[in-house]
A and B are shown apart, each in its own frame.
Chain A
Amino acid sequence: MAEEVDFYRELYKLLLYGLARADYLLTGQVEAFFRTAIVEAGKELGKIFIKKLQAGNDMDQIIQSIIDFFNEKKVAFEELKVIERKDEEVTIGIKGCPFGALCKRFAEEGLKDPRGLVPCIGGLQIAGILEMVLGEPIDWEYVNFSPPNCVVKLKRL
């Protein structure tokens, strides 16, 4: 019961839950509406980076700048860390994600994307920043789903 109250106390979680649920009710899965909303939120955050980075910076540099920003300013996550870099992919460790309780709820209720994955709000936000700076679509997937400490892979198509 205490957990439930906490969930509702942070109203943004309730609103994100509502957004995912609305998408699910209208389409049967958590799909384009939810993804677009979170990516757009990421792009809004990305406006901070666009001033510091030139278009054409490589994915590694951009990812590192994003991670440094999140870690230094203590934005959202407790910590982000690059675990592996490979060609057009970067694997990131997320520690203390604020959306952890939301993800657990999504998993319990079957609110999943077309691939059967619980939508990763943190991963989608970072993807949104990358899409904005690189000017191309970025996909994501879980390497390890264990909210609030997950490992996600971001990749250029």
Chain B
Amino acid sequence: MSVRKRLEAILRELHERNPEIEGAIVSRSDGLLIADSIHTNTNKTLMAAMVAAIFNISRRTLRDLEKGTFKTIVLEGEHGYIVVMGIKANLVLATSIKKDANIGLVLLEMQRSLEKIAEEL
């Protein structure tokens, strides 16, 4: 099974454990889409580039302000959340989460999936 298929299986498992997660994406920090579990008409290529951009600028800001390595960023919107986590040096896991989700629990589950993804890459 290709790396992409294995990652997609991990993302599907993340969904199954957490119905509050609407979609998930793994991208490289240059914006290349690696894997996703997005089932809407969203432009996945653009999503991969956007989450990579969020990761890149956040990582640089933390580093320049001596706050250490990037871990997580949570964007809160009127209708839900976007969470971006770093995987190793140059990879990103991002999820779209419903408004009424238990964010703490979702973050824990994402961390678990992140460790599995890191093993594959």
Please tell me if the beta carbons of B45 and A131 are within 8 angstroms of each other in the complex: yes
Please tell me if the beta carbons of B31 and A27 are within 8 angstroms of each other in the complex: no
CB neighbours (8 Å) of B50 from chain A are 32
Q: With A35-B49, A131-B45, A137-B48 as known contacts, state yes or no: A28 contacts B31, CB within 8 Å.
A: no
Among the stretches B51-59, B73-81, B95-103, B108-116, the one at the interface with A is B51-59
A30 to B30, CA, bound (A): 7
Interface residues of A in 23-54 (CB under 8 A from B): 26-36
CB neighbours (8 Å) of A30 from chain B are 30
B4, B35, B50, B60 interface centre (most CB from chain A within 10 Å): B60
Q: Does A68 contact B (CB under 8 A)?
A: no
CB nearest to B36 among chain A residues: A137
Interface size class of B (residues with CB under 8 A): 20 to 34
Q: Does B34 contact A (CB under 8 A)?
A: yes
Contact surface of B with A, Cβ cutoff 8 Å = 2-4, 28-35, 45, 48-50, 52-53, 56-57, 59-60, 63, 89-90
Known: A31-B31, A137-B34. 6 other contacts (CB 8 A): A26-B57, A27-B60, A28-B63, A29-B29, A32-B49, A137-B48
19 sampled A-B residue pairs with Cβ under 8 A: A26-B57, A26-B60, A27-B57, A27-B60, A28-B63, A29-B29, A29-B56, A31-B30, A31-B52, A31-B56, A32-B29, A32-B49, A33-B53, A36-B31, A36-B49, A114-B28, A137-B34, A137-B48, A157-B33
